[in-house]
Structures are given as C-alpha cells and as structure tokens.
Structure 1
Amino acid sequence: MSQPITETVSSREDPSEEPLLQIRDLQVGFETQRGMVPAVRGVDLTLYVGQTLAIVGESGSGKTTTAQSIIDLLPGTGKVTGGQILFEGRDLTTLSAREIQAVRGNEIGYVPQDPMSNLNPVWNIGFQVEEAIKANNIAQGKDARLRTIQVLQEAGLSDAADRLKQYPHQFSGGMRQRVLIGIGLSSRPKLLIADEPTSALDVTVQRQILDHLATLTRDYGTSVLFITHDLGLAAERAEQLVVMYQGKVVESGPSQEILANPMHPYTQRLVAAAPSLASRRIQSVRHRDPEKAQIFSEGSLDDALIARAAERESAAPATDLISVQNVSKLYRIRKQGFKHDDLLAVNDVSFGVQRGTTTAIVGESGSGKSTVAKLILQLEGITSGKIEFDGQDVAALKGPELLKFRRRVQPVFQDPYGSLDPQYSVGNTIAEPLLAHKVGTAKERQARVRELLDQVSLPSATRYRYPSELSGGQRQRIAIARALALKPDVLVLDEAVSALDVLVQGQILNLLTELQTELGLTYLFITHDLAVVRLVADNVCVMQKGKIVEAATTDEVFDNPRELYTQELLAAIPGGDFEFGR
C-alpha cells in the first residue's frame, strides 16, 4: 500500500501567494492530575484566501481542539504547548489576551457546534446578536439594533425584525443555526471556523444552511475552515481535505482525490462507514459498472451492503405486525386567555409494519414522524383512527394488557446522553425494565444484564460504569441493550444514530442488523437521513406536514421516487453527486 499523504494542504500553484492561515507542528495538551495529556500532536495545514478546507475525523481525533486553539477558545486546562498558528503572518500563539480578543470575532469568526447550548436560553435572540455586534465594535446604540436586523436577514431570517424578542427555544434547529452563522459573519471576518454547523439538522435544512453559508462567504470573500465527521459533506463543500486521527493528520489533499482513492487505512474506514457514500455506492452498483462503485479493494463494506439490499428485494412478503389505519393526532396550542390554536400533527396516516422487517419513516423536523412513533408506543393518545398490534387495538389496552404490550414494544430514543439516568450505573440501567416488570430474581437479572452486554458487544465490566464514563456510541449500545432486556418483538428507534459519528453510526447499524437476524426483531426506524434508510430499511414511508406522501419498498423509493419532496430529500444527501472510481 502506498504511503498516506501528509504534506501541508495546498492547491495553489503560485508560490508567491501568502497563505491566510498556516499551522505548523501544532501541539495541544490538557493538564490533568497525571500530567499533560496530548490532544493534538504535530498538525500542519495551510489555508489560502477564498479557500474552503474541511477537517474530518471521529470524536476525539483533535479536529475541534485544533480549531479552538486558533482563536484561543480551548476549554478547561487545554493549552497550546508547541508549534505556530500564523494568521496573515502573525503568530496567534504569541498574542496577549487583549490582542487575541481583537482578532476573535473581527478577523476570525466562529460558528460552534450545538446551537441550543451556545445560545443563552434566558436572553432573547436580538439581545445576543446585538451583544456580539457591540463587543466587536461594529456598531453601537441604535445602529447596533439596525445592524442586528441586517445580520439576521443576511443569515436567512426574512422576518428578523419581528423575531428579535423571541427566545432560542422558540426557534427551530435550523433557525438557531442561522443565528449563530449570522453572529459568526457579523463583522465580515477574513476566516470563518464552522464546527459541525449542521450535524443535528435535517438533510434538506442542512443543504439550505450550507448553501446560504457558501453564498455569504463567497460574497464577503471569507475563507472557511469546516469541521465535520461526514466525508460526503466534506467532499461536497470543501476543495481541500484534512483527515485527523488520534491528534495527527494522517492524510490530506484535494477532497475528490482522497475520496476516490483513500490511502490511509483510517480514511478507508471512514469512507466505508459513511452512510451517504455507502448509499451512493449501492446506487452505482445497481445501475452502472460495479467496478466503478468499489472505492478500494480491501476492507470495504460494499459487498455486505449490496447483498443486504438484494436480500430485501427478493424477500417474500410477511404479515403486518403493526397496522396503522387512518390515524390523526390533533394538538391544542394554548394562547393568551381562553384562546387556542389547533395543530394537526398527524393527518390521516395509514401504513403497516411487517413482522421481522424494518420500516423507516422519514421526513423533515415537524413532519410528524416522531409523533407517529409516540402514538404507536401509546405515549400519546390517538385523536382518530386505529392502531393494531398483533391484531389488538392498542388504544383499548388497559392495566395488565397494556403492561404486556409495553414488554413487546420498546423504544430507543435519539439522545444517548439524555435518555440514560446519570445516577444509575450501566448494570442498573439495563436491569431497570426487568425490575419494573418483575422479571426474574436479582441473580437472574444480573445474568441477563451480562448477556445483553455481550449481545451489544460491550465487555461485562461495563455494568459497573456510569453514562458519563462512556462515549456516545457506547451509550447508544446501552440504550439498545435496555430496550432488548424484556425480549421485545418490536424496537421503535427514534433518530437512534443521528447524533453519532460516522464510524460509530456504522457500528450501531451493523449491530441492529445482526440483532434483527439473530432475534427476529421488527424495527420502526424514525429518521431524517435517507442515506441511513438505504442501508437498513425494507420499506419506507415519506412524511411531509403530517401526511404520508409516498410509501414503497426502499429500492423503489431510491430508484423511482414519485414525489418532488422525496426527490428533494434524495438530492440533499451529502456527496450524492460524487462519482466513484479508482
């Protein structure tokens, strides 16, 4: 195998052109009780004026730490221990706190990862944007308020003047992200650092945000340092790519070249695991020369994915275990006084989930897909219609019958951080449903916990640990183990992999497939990511504004999408236009 590319990233042929940002042998560490722990080890990269460069890698690879060190925003005890960060020839590591503060915001903008935790929930949006404008000495007084409205309008909020007094919780995820982008670009910086700016957003909203960001940065002449774990997204949005692993740059160069011919084993793993790219490869195999769809010969998951798609296509139809018939859900939204608004979240929805298969419900945020899951789980009452599980009307179940139903249908929620009690050990978390349903003795429950940990590929000793001691992928495995504790027939997975890194996402999807084969499980998979659907689902229901606008087998939806909305969802898959080849 040829050696990985490790030279400084550059696509400029003119050697006289000065780079905007040049990082040389950057070393970053975090002070602990056991001494300094290195997080970034000898990173080199170069970014020119008007260029977009993406840093990709899994959690813990050092990509965010590298970005934060540029503007001296390292958390806690983190500090730069070696190397240089040259911005327009100035070494930022030598600047005083006052000097770096003048650079931060004015010359280098920053869009942080999580829009909810990076906007103060007790301050309105207008105040927070105006505060940034005043702090960067862009405008003061009434001019600052006018500039605030202009910034939000430029960020894509057409009714900005009416929204200044609203709070973050009153904005959707996409709107909150637009606010952060507006703050980051408010002073027309020369460089914008965008840290996973769309990781929790729907694919269509993600495309809108990134298209708008690209337009703004092009108009302002801003260079972009883009951080993401999605290789498909990186290839689509950045000319240059830096792959980081365990604090080091393992491969770098033009995005298209790295994706078409990844040299380093870690890059190969990332390419193989990325759902958006795997989905594209399956399409390539089904419609063109299979040799062109194979990115690299060894270690690829393509064969397994393609075989799985073929199995789905040839499988005999099964009976419906879950039947949803003309179901609607109406919410009454209270307003001032005795007034209220009616919100029809689910509107006359019908579909079936066949025994032993995976049915995916896809759509944007607010389309009603999670509400459907809650109705099936009996966490919400049905306004009209009927849901049958194994021939029984679930709305009519009471007492012991409802308890029996809950044993057979278990949920796995989106957030592996919020769905586990931080005060419960892993063992107690997994044993909790056994205890609630009075299953087995204490000794039998502990034996079942060890068995479940083995099923989700975690060591037995994990049962003594707490959620805070586990990674996101490990926590999601614990959530799956807990859901399997009662040996259910159905798992309802609500965005179960959307918050995870690409590699961890691949591991969880493979685990779910293996468990389905081994235990005969039926899955209802709620997601906004059609790329993930391509890998795991047998049937797809596409929801928009509370209605199912298209329902068919996975292959039919991907090969011949009938509705414009479905076509837009497919077109929004990152890297969907990438042509594979050696």
Structure 2
Amino acid sequence: MTQESSHTMNATTAPTTGRPLLEVTDLEVSFHTQNGIVNAVRGVSFSLNAGESLAIVGESGSGKSTSATAIIDLLPGTGKVTGGSIRLDGTELVGISRAEMEAIRGSQIGYVPQDPMSNLNPVWNIGFQVMETLLANGIAKSRKEAEAKAIQVLQDAGLPDAGKRLRQYPHQFSGGMRQRALIGIGLSSQPKLLIADEPTSALDVTVQRVILDHLNTLTRELGTSVIFITHDLGLAAERAEKLVVMYRGQVVESGPSREILANPLHPYTQRLVAAAPSLASRRMQAVKSHENVAIAAPTAALDLTLIERAEQREEAATAASPIISLRDVTKQYKIRTGGFKTELFTAVDKVSFDVHPGTTTAIVGESGSGKSTIAKMVLKLEDVTAGNVLVDGTDVTAIRSAKDVLAFRRRVQPVFQDPYGTLDPLYNIAQTIAEPLVVHGVGTAKERTARVRELLDQVSLPVSTMSRYPNELSGGQRQRIAVARALALKPDVLVLDEAVSALDVLVQGQILNLLTELQSEMGLSYLFITHDLAVVRLVADSVCVMKSGQIVESATTDEVFDSPREQYTKDLLAAIPGAGIELGA
C-alpha cells in the first residue's frame, strides 16, 4: 500500500450534519487482460458531503476516471469492482442489479464525459438526445413535454436560441456548445451528485472558464455535489473544496484543496504542483515581482531555473537581428457558399512580428484566431496570399525550386500537437529520427546511427528506445521523439504548434523544461503556438496575442502578464485556471 499523506479536512469544507452524501471505502477495481488481472484501483477511500465539490487529480493511468466510473457502474471493457463499498445517501451501490443502477444513474447521479464529440451521437440531433434522457429518467411523460423541457435544459445550460438548437446536430455545434449540451443533459434530472470527467480539457481557456462558471452556478442553485476529474491542479484548487490525489491506483494525499496546494506533503503531489503550468505561471509572476510567497524547495528550484534561462536568452538576444520576420502577412481562403459561388475568408490579416535568435516568441489566442495558419506559412506548408516571411533575411515566399525548399527545411523544423499522428507506426524509433537525415542525404548509415544515439541522449531517452515502435511508447516519450527528429538536421528554428497541449501536466512540465534546456545549450529559436497563456509564461520571451486573424497585442512576456493593454488579453489571463489563487505568505 502506498503511503498516504493526509491533511486535516476542516478549513474549506462545507459544514454537514449526519452522514456524507457519498462514501467510497476501500474501493478495488480490476481488469481482465490477456496478460492476467490488472488491479487498476487499490483501496481508494473518500467521502463527499451534500452541496460539496471534490476534485480527483492525477496523471493518465492513475485510476481517477476508473474510480469515478465505478461509482455509476460504467467501467469500460472487462472492468469490475472487486472489493470495497460505494454508498450514496446510505444506499450501497456495489452489487445492486442493473435495473436498480439504471434507476439511480441519471436521476440521482449525473455524468458529464470528457469528449463531447464522441459522447453525442452524430446521427441524432441534439434535441432528440436531450429528450431521450428526460424520458428515460421519467422527467417527462410524453414527447411533447420532453421537447418543452429539453428547450429549458439547453437554456439552463447557457445555449442561446435553444428552440432552434434542438434541430441541430453535434457537428453543427462548437466544442463549447457541445460541452454545454452534455452538462445540460447531466443536470437535467437535478441529480444529487454530478461526476464531471475532464469536462473542459479540450476547450480554450476562455471557453473553459465560461463553462465552469456556468456549471458552478447550476450546481449551486440545485444543491448538487460535484466530483471533478482533472489533471490540472490549478483548476482543481480553484473549483473544488476537497482534493484527492491519485497515483498508480491509490490515494496518496487528500484534504482541503488550498491546504494541499500551499503545503503538498507527498512527493508525487509536490511534483504535480511543481509541474502545473497554471500554478508555475502564478509563482513565477510572484517571484519576478518580489512578492512574499511560500514555495516548496523542488518547485522553487525549477521556477528559478526557468527564470534564469529566460534572463540569459534576453541578454544574448538584445543586439541580434531577427532570425524570423513577418511583414504584413495575409492569408485568405476561398470558401464555397453553394453551387459554384465562393467567398474569401481572411484567416490571417496583415500580421507582422519578429523572432530573435535564441529566443522564444509565442503566438496565443483562441481556436480560429489564425495562429496555426501562421505556423504553416512560416514552415512553407501554406502559401502566403500577401506580405513577406523572412528567415535570416531570405524571403521564404519567393522560394520556388525544390532544392531551395529542401535547404530551407533544414533550417526550420516543426513539432506538431499530436505526437502519435506525426510518427509513422511502421517505422521504429531509429528509422523515425534518422528519416530527415536520409531525405537530405546527410552522413553514412553508421554516422546516422551515431547521430540518432546522440539525439536520444539529448532528449533524455535510453538507447534501447531505438528498436521500439511509436505504439510502444507513452505520449510524453513520443513527443520527445518528435523533438529529437526535429533536431536531427541541427536547425536554427523550431516551430512548435500546440506541442504540449495533448500531454498530462507532469509530462508537459518535463517537455517544457527539456525545450528550454535544449534552447540554452544549442541557441535554438522557437516559434511557440498555443492557446494556453500559462504555458507561455514558462517558456516565452515575447508574446503576440491574436484575435480573428490579427495581432491585437505584442510585447515581452513580462509586459503582457504584468500590464496587459487589451481587454481580450486581460480576459485570457483571467481565464488561466488558478490565476486568482493566492499562493500564501
């Protein structure tokens, strides 16, 4: 049994009388696999009072989602509760019949799953799916009544024109709208308990804040208790009164959120606090402005290292000419409007900025702001409609011959968001990393193998990784391989397009630390595309804030964080999970 660090649960928890609403005691969950039985959850215990909120945090595979889905008997595959007790309002849920669980599920326990697109049926309109829930839970007795209540559910979920929205399909909703619909469905029966599994992980920070604020309002009005499943400690501490930290299927620390945040006792929790970008961003801001804050030693060491690297980059870049310059760059697409008619859509509108050697320039903004389109134009994966992209004085837009394009690609390399989608599953890791060397005719086979070994060492992976395939590696390991491949040709510039957004917070922290370390050692320049301003604080020297294809604010990272000029930038900063948390004196 893993040693558990426990805080006294008093300061921030809601006062209660009688028994808790939910009691999970010594929960055990196992899965039958080809290699035998896997114990995914081992001896997990926690409780939740009526009207209270609790967050379960941990990295992928820690057992947090498995623990939550066990409560409502929705374990995937061969998963089965093999021990322990789950009591809801005094009623034992382990071992009850399927019919009894179906009567409780939805009506007493609501559920908001992680991915709204795969959890809404694409062939049914939104109204039908809400109405089916209302009819199944007995909230409506007829289809006419169900339709009226479905409109009310979508209105309560914050969707405008709910009557019209009933007829629309999931693909016609934005990510935020789909998530609102799922929250509406989860709360439609006014349950006693709502389980929200990473309810906003795929959303921009501003949309995330709107969704979570609305969820908080609805649950407060209904008196519903909430369990949040998340890997973001900043979000957990901001949104939940209690915190349960899970690691390898066990609870290693639990107690009031703010107390755990201020004083994490277990080494794993300390690592989570140190790695969470939203919290690290707040700490670094405090350190730079000389605020008196109490920060754990391992956390402080990493923060100070990142700050020191940023100061070194700033000193080195002051006198250097830009390595990348965009001048009035515009990108337009032709959009079909029906028949043979088209209209022009401006994705990027007269954008100008510079990237100095050895520094990181971040481009931030919500989805659809045009930031990834800029990355593609810098990489010459998209043609520029108007304006110029200069790399070390050479106008990329004027490059035409295949030879010149190949020479350009040696100097500017990409690292994309999805490390699995960008790695060929039929190539082993040695072949993957060596591929750019082969394409550009660099070195002999022996020299390329030596270069692959050198690159694996640079990204802190063992040489034994060479013979493995992408599906045998974790997400973090795959992203390290993507970085190693990008470095194979010794480029001057890396274009990182949401390169850490798909990773767990701990892995994200490791990759960000690796990137800044490699930058210090090799003098690399980064163009960093992201929607997460918290990540920007950790790695960027300057920031361009984009909205609707235009740069609305451009300044050093310190200036953007300390004194943002535009309201849009202020909204982005305010939306960072944990931005309002006081770190304590």
What band does the TM-score fall into relative to the shorter chain?
over 0.9
Offset of residue 65 of structure 1: 0.7
Partner residue in 2 for 1:103 = 104
1:456 aligns with 2:459: yes
CA distance in 2, matches of 1:9, 1:76: 38
Partner residue in 2 for 1:474 = 477
Q: Kindly provide the amino acid, as one letter, of the partner of residue 51 in structure 2.
A: G
Q: Kindly provide the amino acid, as one letter, of the partner of residue 465 in structure 1.
A: R
- CA displacement, residues 485-534 of structure 1 (integer Å, 9 cap, x when unaligned): 22221111111111111111110001101111222211000011111111
CA distance in 1, matches of 2:183, 2:474: 28
Offset of residue 201 of structure 1: 1.4
CA RMSD of superposed structures (Å): 2.1
1:411 aligns with 2:384: no
Aligned 8 A contact 1:6 1:250 in 2: no
Partner residue in 2 for 1:80 = 81
Partner residue in 1 for 2:538 = 535
Partner residue in 2 for 1:55 = 56
1:526 to 501, 518, 529: 529
CA distance in 2, matches of 1:32, 1:245: 21
Offset of residue 277 of structure 1: 1.0
2:567 to 554, 559, 564: 564
SS at match of 1:504: helix
Partner residue in 1 for 2:355 = 353
Q: Kindly provide the amino acid, as one letter, of the partner of residue 562 in structure 1.
A: R
Aligned 8 A contact 1:294 1:302 in 2: no
Aligned 8 A contact 1:24 1:84 in 2: yes
Q: Kindly provide the amino acid, as one letter, of the partner of residue 178 in structure 2.
A: R
Q: Kindly provide the amino acid, as one letter, of the partner of residue 516 in structure 2.
A: T
Partner residue in 1 for 2:293 = 293
CA distance in 2, matches of 1:401, 1:251: 57
CA distance in 2, matches of 1:44, 1:8: 14
Point out the more displaced range, 300-309 or 176-185. 300-309
SS at match of 1:64: helix
Going from structure 1 to structure 2, the CA distance change for 1:323 and 1:99 (only over 3 Å counts) comes to same
SS at match of 2:584: coil
Aligned 8 A contact 2:28 2:43 in 1: yes
Point out the more displaced range, 129-138 or 187-196. 129-138
SS at match of 1:117: helix
Partner residue in 1 for 2:117 = 116
Partner residue in 2 for 1:152 = 154
Partner residue in 2 for 1:257 = 259
Partner residue in 1 for 2:433 = 430
1:222 aligns with 2:224: yes
CA distance in 2, matches of 1:146, 1:434: 63
CA distance in 2, matches of 1:14, 1:522: 53
Partner residue in 1 for 2:271 = 269
CA distance in 2, matches of 1:557, 1:226: 31
Going from structure 1 to structure 2, the CA distance change for 1:417 and 1:103 (only over 3 Å counts) comes to farther
1:487 aligns with 2:503: no
Partner residue in 2 for 1:21 = 22
Offset of residue 14 of structure 1: 6.1
Aligned 8 A contact 1:333 1:340 in 2: yes
1:236 to 226, 235, 238: 238
Aligned 8 A contact 2:313 2:358 in 1: no
SS at match of 1:307: helix
Offset of residue 413 of structure 1: 1.0
Going from structure 1 to structure 2, the CA distance change for 1:391 and 1:48 (only over 3 Å counts) comes to same
TM-score calculated relative to the size of structure 1: 0.95
**Structure 2, gaps ≥5 residues long:** none
1:332 aligns with 2:298: no
Partner residue in 2 for 1:91 = 92
SS at match of 2:227: strand
- Counterparts of 1:304-383 in structure 2, within 5 Å, are 304-317=305-318, 318-383=320-385
SS at match of 1:28: strand
2:202 to 200, 203, 213: 200
Partner residue in 2 for 1:386 = 388
- Counterparts of 1:159-198 in structure 2, within 5 Å, are 159-198=161-200
Aligned 8 A contact 2:262 2:294 in 1: no
CA distance in 1, matches of 2:373, 2:196: 32
1:441 to 444, 447, 450: 444
CA distance in 2, matches of 1:119, 1:423: 33
CA distance in 2, matches of 1:40, 1:269: 21
Going from structure 1 to structure 2, the CA distance change for 1:373 and 1:77 (only over 3 Å counts) comes to same
Q: Kindly provide the amino acid, as one letter, of the partner of residue 113 in structure 1.
A: Q
Partner residue in 2 for 1:550 = 553
Q: How many residues align?
A: 579
Going from structure 1 to structure 2, the CA distance change for 1:117 and 1:487 (only over 3 Å counts) comes to farther
Q: Kindly provide the amino acid, as one letter, of the partner of residue 128 in structure 1.
A: Q
Aligned 8 A contact 1:408 1:488 in 2: yes
CA distance in 2, matches of 1:225, 1:171: 26
CA distance in 2, matches of 1:266, 1:451: 30
CA distance in 2, matches of 1:497, 1:412: 10
1:581 to 562, 581, 584: 584
Aligned 8 A contact 1:5 1:253 in 2: yes
Offset of residue 465 of structure 1: 2.3
Q: Kindly provide the amino acid, as one letter, of the partner of residue 294 in structure 1.
A: A
CA distance in 2, matches of 1:3, 1:40: 15
Offset of residue 302 of structure 1: 2.6
Aligned 8 A contact 2:16 2:49 in 1: no
- Counterparts of 1:31-42 in structure 2, within 5 Å, are 31-42=32-43
Offset of residue 314 of structure 1: 4.3
CA distance in 2, matches of 1:162, 1:436: 53
Point out the more displaced range, 344-353 or 10-19. 10-19
- CA displacement, residues 124-179 of structure 1 (integer Å, 9 cap, x when unaligned): 33333333333333334233333333222222220333333433333322222212
Aligned 8 A contact 1:71 1:100 in 2: yes
Offset of residue 78 of structure 1: 1.2
CA distance in 2, matches of 1:368, 1:545: 7
Going from structure 1 to structure 2, the CA distance change for 1:511 and 1:469 (only over 3 Å counts) comes to same
- Counterparts of 1:505-524 in structure 2, within 5 Å, are 505-524=508-527
- CA displacement, residues 515-556 of structure 1 (integer Å, 9 cap, x when unaligned): 112222110000111111111011110111111011111111
Q: Kindly provide the amino acid, as one letter, of the partner of residue 338 in structure 1.
A: F
CA distance in 1, matches of 2:85, 2:217: 31
Aligned 8 A contact 2:14 2:52 in 1: no
CA distance in 2, matches of 1:80, 1:460: 40
CA distance in 2, matches of 1:341, 1:369: 21
Offset of residue 388 of structure 1: 1.1
1:401 to 401, 404, 429: 404
Aligned 8 A contact 1:416 1:479 in 2: yes
Aligned 8 A contact 1:155 1:212 in 2: yes
CA distance in 2, matches of 1:144, 1:432: 58
**Structure 1, gaps ≥5 residues long:** none
Q: Kindly provide the amino acid, as one letter, of the partner of residue 259 in structure 1.
A: L
Going from structure 1 to structure 2, the CA distance change for 1:165 and 1:407 (only over 3 Å counts) comes to farther
Query: Percent of aligned positions with the same letter in both sequences?
Result: 69
- CA displacement, residues 28-83 of structure 1 (integer Å, 9 cap, x when unaligned): 11112332211111111000111010011111111111001111111111111110
Going from structure 1 to structure 2, the CA distance change for 1:3 and 1:81 (only over 3 Å counts) comes to closer
Going from structure 1 to structure 2, the CA distance change for 1:254 and 1:350 (only over 3 Å counts) comes to same
Point out the more displaced range, 139-148 or 453-462. 139-148
Q: Kindly provide the amino acid, as one letter, of the partner of residue 73 in structure 1.
A: L
Going from structure 1 to structure 2, the CA distance change for 1:24 and 1:3 (only over 3 Å counts) comes to closer
Offset of residue 298 of structure 1: 4.5
CA distance in 1, matches of 2:137, 2:447: 62
Going from structure 1 to structure 2, the CA distance change for 1:13 and 1:192 (only over 3 Å counts) comes to closer
SS at match of 1:562: coil
